[in-house]
Chain A
């Protein structure tokens, strides 16, 4: 059974403005994919620990040393909009 998802909520969380038609289409596609992905639930895992990293490395740090930053002109060169050395965006609705 394809899984039923609140696709509108998920799209909001993912910040993708989908149309109603797109929401419906993706929602049903996802339902089918998830049904197959949910197969993982069939495997008993008991107290098996989750893998967060394939390596067993720990304590990978860097010393507290300052390195050259990018030139601001380079930084803002790729900016879709900038002003006086700042990136510029439309105002926020939420805080």
Chain B
């Protein structure tokens, strides 16, 4: 008998319709799990007991009336705390928004509600989504459910940990440089970044506008698709939202990989990758070959510059996106004799060191005299990265690499050296630059029992082939997800 917190969305949906469990019962089980584990894990910043209970009750009433809005009806999910939720505190993991209550829902959140999902609460994150370990949260770090001395990854650490620990059946994360995929990899769950523009950014507190995307974190590829189906699609409130016909996400699932051309990105799959991670990666490639895939070598030379490129573009955009946090209209104000003083003090006290670093860096990269050499040049390198991907996809159907060079590292191990922290994203950043979709699937454990993730990348709007490959990789692997009873031990 599967414990409710260990259920996949699909299994829970079946049970709900079979009557073996109610939404309220499922929510209770998830909340119990949260009570059990949160003191240690701290995945949540806010648990909205009242709102979630009301939503679960509404779902139960809907079921009893024979109303069925789909698989997500009655399913408890967590939302990363950088997506605004109407009437529920949203902090972006920062002091500057402590106590801030938004007057509207992010579109992705609204769509989850429309689908009948039960929003349990707001998940912890690196402040303003800047980080790879969730140690930059102004409210304390989240710990990895597999080993509480370890980080869950970041910036969507809370969203990934809650799913791994069973205090949510799925969650919404955001990914700017790998912030969904890397924590998914470190927490042994599935995390996916959609094609840029597929999911509305309206209501996502902006970090780097041309890189940010909201995406699902779930136990299985199938569940991730379920969440994506509910949130994807054009939004008139987001001018960068894709207006064309949506691809059939599930079209390839179950078709296997026979004949599929799989390109291994050389620059992301050798140097700098941990031995255990590389071993699990190679093993997965073997399994793919065994299943009929054509595994070939692929070189994308400009991806060696992707990290540098990202650390100019993202800070530049964030420096402008965070300018609005000035204590004038909302947020934590620190007073001053003049408005300039008030703003300067509010921002100094409100922003943590990593955010401050990136805002300063971005301001510099855009400033007169430096724009061309830094930001301007980075945007040109970005074009080269996109071109490399486009060329590669002329010869392969998907590209693959490890998701993260390492498994979960210890808390505190990288906080003193920003550059070492940035290296966590070296495999994930390239698809943020190109705007292509990518996914992390857990494929094994390292010698210390920590999860290893395998990354699949596909061309823009190539979600069908992406999920096709990911589902097969999942099927072929012998990875066992964490049981709720073990979480946080």
A9 to B363, CA, bound (A): 10
* Residues 330-345 of B at the A interface (beta carbon under 8 Å): 330-333, 335-345
A78 to B342, CA, bound (A): 17
A66 within 8 A of B: no
Given known pairs A40-B305, A45-B384, A49-B383, the reply for A90 and B361 (CB within 8 Å) is no
Q: Are A15 and B419 in contact (CB under 8 A)?
A: no
10 A-B pairs with least C-beta separation: A54-B435, A17-B344, A50-B379, A80-B333, A45-B380, A78-B330, A39-B308, A60-B239, A51-B382, A14-B363
Q: Among B2-10, B125-133, B246-254, B351-359, which stretch is in contact with chain A?
A: B351-359
B292 within 8 A of A: no
Q: Are A34 and B361 in contact (CB under 8 A)?
A: yes
Given known pairs A14-B363, A54-B210, the reply for A48 and B348 (CB within 8 Å) is no
A40 to B364, CA, bound (A): 16
A43 to B301, CA, bound (A): 10
Tell me which residues across on chain A come within 8 A of B339, comparing CB atoms. 89-93
B201 within 8 A of A: no
* Residue from the list B331, B365, B373, B433 in contact with A41, Cβ < 8 A: B373
Task: Looking at the assembled complex, report how far the CB atom of B235 sits from the nearest CB atom of chain A, in whole angstroms.
Answer: 11
Tell me which residues across on chain B come within 8 A of A57, comparing CB atoms. 197, 240, 242-243
Interface residue count for A (Cβ, 8 Å)?
53
What are 8 residue pairs bridging A and B, where the CB atoms are less than 8 Å apart in the complex?
A: A10-B363, A14-B363, A33-B419, A51-B382, A55-B197, A60-B240, A91-B338, A92-B340
* Residue from the list A18, A22, A32, A62 in contact with B419, Cβ < 8 A: A32
Task: Looking at the assembled complex, report how far the CB atom of A4 sits from the nearest CB atom of chain B, in whole angstroms.
Answer: 11
Tell me which residues across on chain A come within 8 A of B242, comparing CB atoms. 55, 57
A13 to B367, CA, bound (A): 9
Q: Is the interface of B mostly helix, strand, loop or mixed?
A: helix
Q: Are B337 and A36 in contact (CB under 8 A)?
A: no
A26 to B308, CA, bound (A): 19
* Residues 452-478 of B at the A interface (beta carbon under 8 Å): 460
Tell me which residues across on chain A come within 8 A of B341, comparing CB atoms. 17, 90
A30 to B335, CA, bound (A): 28
Given known pairs A37-B308, A38-B308, A41-B377, the reply for A15 and B364 (CB within 8 Å) is no
CB-based nearest B residue for A92:
B339
Q: How many A-B residue pairs have CB under 8 A?
A: 176
Given known pairs A53-B240, A57-B243, A90-B337, the reply for A30 and B361 (CB within 8 Å) is yes
B206 within 8 A of A: no
Given known pairs A5-B364, A43-B305, A55-B240, the reply for A14 and B384 (CB within 8 Å) is no
Tell me which residues across on chain B come within 8 A of A60, comparing CB atoms. 239-241, 243
A62 to B236, CA, bound (A): 7
A16 within 8 A of B: yes
Q: Are A37 and B374 in contact (CB under 8 A)?
A: yes
Tell me which residues across on chain A come within 8 A of B353, comparing CB atoms. 26
Q: Among B116-124, B150-158, B319-327, B395-403, which stretch is in contact with chain A?
A: B319-327
Q: Are B419 and A45 in contact (CB under 8 A)?
A: no
* Residues 46-93 of A at the B interface (beta carbon under 8 Å): 48-55, 57, 60-62, 70, 74-75, 77-81, 87, 89-93
